[in-house]
Amino acid sequence: MADQYRSTQNKPTLAEDLAGYGIARLGEVTTQVPIRYANRPAGRTLDPRAVLPEDPRIPQLEKTIKQLRRREQEQDREIARLVDRVALLEQQMAERIATDMPDREAAMLTRQFIQAVDRARPILEWPDDWDGEGSPSYRAETLDRVQTFLVEGALALWRMHSRTAPAPQVAAGPDGSIDLHWQSNGRELLVNIPVESDEVGSFYGDDAEGKIKGEIGGSVDAAWLLGWLAR
Amino acid sequence: MACPVTTVWESETIPDSNKLFMRVHKNIILAGQIPHGVFRDPDGKGMSTDWEAYASPHQTRARGGKPAEEYAVIAVEKGAVEADTPLSVKHTPIAPSAAESKGNRAHTDILGLKQCSNADKTEARVALWRLSRYCVNLNDPVVPVDL
């Protein structure tokens, strides 16, 4: 009995107790709590875990808290998932604005260039000396290079500046080369695409402000020339 | 034994206001427009034309390697060619020979296109195109001519 009323002053904490004596001691310690609480010296604290199991609502509350925390974690995960989804949709939308939409527009724009080249395809059927002046025949490769030049130029112009240019008249040039000719908005431009792929194309254009001329290459490409037309 | 008579025409100075005629084959004409591709000098000897002093446009039309109806004829003024392009014009009559049996006294070359840089060549072709006018359209009837 004396032992039952002994002070807890020199007793280890419950954690130390548990660590030292094991779970089996917990029941013994907790049953003594009310008495110890009543007799404990001022300044001493009790481990609350020794008290809480006494309230029959605690387990249910703990269970409820766990459920709420689990639900909160699920909601956090759902929010994170939705945030990721929104970010993905924003990225996809940005990509569509940056590429897909212009490409769709550009497909319409490039169509006119392809049609312009297609209108010139009958020249491929002309034999050597088609004009009685000794002119050579025209090669499909040259016309294909013209199409690539125009389509890539139109796409690049759209992507860089969201601008379009009119399609040229594609015509038989001198000695197997191909001429591209534009006349619009007071501007005139003639581009010559040579027969051989390693030869350099050339251009001349002018308007009321002045003239441009040179060889195609470096910074002067189809996009630059179409951009000049589209100013 | 009689010596064959050879006709040799002297090269003459062409007045600036005189016209030079050039054939344009029907294949290259798009929507009736004079094509830029007709201005060519593949071998560097000059663009062949006929001086109006010794040829009519219909004679020029008839001198092509194809039937006359396959050609239109354009005209360009000699002085304008030399003023607006780096090219020069030289009267180069062709004497009658085995290859060119009747010769061509009107023959005139526009010189220098082949020697131009690519960019200058393209500019010169634009200038020639602007200076040129049809004098025989493709659908004009063929006029019989003596060559």
What digits encode the pLDDT tens for the residues A68-119? Answer: 999 999 999 999 988 888 777 766 665 555 565 556 666 777 899 999 999 9
Phi/psi for A198 (5° steps) reads: -90, 0
Query: In chain A, pLDDT over 70 holds for what percent of residues?
Result: 69
**Chain A contact set for B117 (CB, 8 A):** 202, 215
- Among the partner residues A131, A204, A211, nearest to B27 by beta-carbon distance: A131
Question: Are A132 and B70 an interchain contact pair (Cβ–Cβ within 8 Å)?
Answer: yes
CB A153 within 8 A of CB A201: no
- Give me the pLDDT at residue A196, please: 93
Q: How far is CA B87 from the centre of its chain?
A: 14
* Both structure tokens of A119: 């209108």
As a whole number of angstroms, the distance between CA A99 and CA B46 comes to 50
- A23 has a pLDDT exceeding 60: no
As a whole number of angstroms, the distance between CA A18 and CA A29 comes to 10
- Give me the pLDDT at residue A2, please: 43
**Chain A contact set for B36 (CB, 8 A):** 171, 173, 179, 181, 190
The Cα of A225 is separated from the nearest Cα of chain B by a number of Å equal to: 14
> Greatest CA separation found in chain B?
58
As a whole number of angstroms, the distance between CA A194 and CA A174 comes to 9
- A16 has a pLDDT exceeding 90: no
Chain B interface, best mutation among A133, A179, A199, A213, by max B CB count within 10 A = A133
Verdict on whether the full-model pTM lies above 0.90: no
* Overall residue count recorded for chain B in this entry: 147
Interface A-B, measured as beta-carbon pairs within 8 A, has a size of 85
Q: At what angle do helices A24-31 and A14-21 cross, to 10 degrees?
A: 140
- Among the partner residues B28, B64, B66, nearest to A172 by beta-carbon distance: B28
As a whole number of angstroms, the distance between CA A119 and CA A113 comes to 10
Residue pointed to by tokens 């060119």 = B100
**What Rg, from alpha-carbon coordinates, does chain A have?**
43
- Give me the pLDDT at residue A6, please: 47
CB-based contact, B51 to chain A, within 8 Å: no
Residue of A nearest to B37 (CA): A173
Question: Are A202 and B118 an interchain contact pair (Cβ–Cβ within 8 Å)?
Answer: yes
- Give me the pLDDT at residue B78, please: 98
Strands B47-51 and B107-111, bridge-based pairing? antiparallel
As a whole number of angstroms, the distance between CA B10 and CA B51 comes to 14
CB-based contact, B121 to chain A, within 8 Å: yes
Question: Are B28 and A214 an interchain contact pair (Cβ–Cβ within 8 Å)?
Answer: no
Contacts (Cβ under 8 Å, ≥6 apart) of B74: B21, B22, B24, B34, B38, B132, B133, B134, B135
Note the pLDDT tens digit of each residue in A36-52: 455 555 555 566 555 55
Task: Give the confidence band of A60 by pLDDT, cuts at 50, 70, 90.
Answer: confident
The Cα of B12 is separated from the nearest Cα of chain A by a number of Å equal to: 25
Kindly report the average pLDDT of chain A as a whole number. Answer: 80
> Does the model's ipTM exceed the 0.90 cut?
yes
Assign A80 to helix, strand or coil. helix
The Cα of B39 is separated from the nearest Cα of chain A by a number of Å equal to: 7
As a whole number of angstroms, the distance between CA A170 and CA A192 comes to 10
Assign B90 to helix, strand or coil. strand
The Cα of B2 is separated from the nearest Cα of chain A by a number of Å equal to: 37
Sheet holding B88-91, edge to edge: B88-91, B107-111, B47-51, B19-25, B71-77, B133-136
**What distances in angstroms separate CA B4 from CA A106, B1, B97, B99, B147, one per listed residue?**
71, 9, 11, 16, 21
- A129 has a pLDDT exceeding 80: yes
- Give me the pLDDT at residue A86, please: 78
- Give me the pLDDT at residue A187, please: 95
CB-based contact, B131 to chain A, within 8 Å: no
Phi/psi for A178 (5° steps) reads: -120, 135
**What Rg, from alpha-carbon coordinates, does chain B have?**
16
3-state helix, strand, coil in chain B (%, to 5): 25, 25, 50
- Give me the pLDDT at residue B57, please: 98
The Cα of A170 is separated from the nearest Cα of chain B by a number of Å equal to: 10
The Cα of B7 is separated from the nearest Cα of chain A by a number of Å equal to: 25
- Give me the pLDDT at residue A155, please: 86
Residue of B nearest to A194 (CA): B118
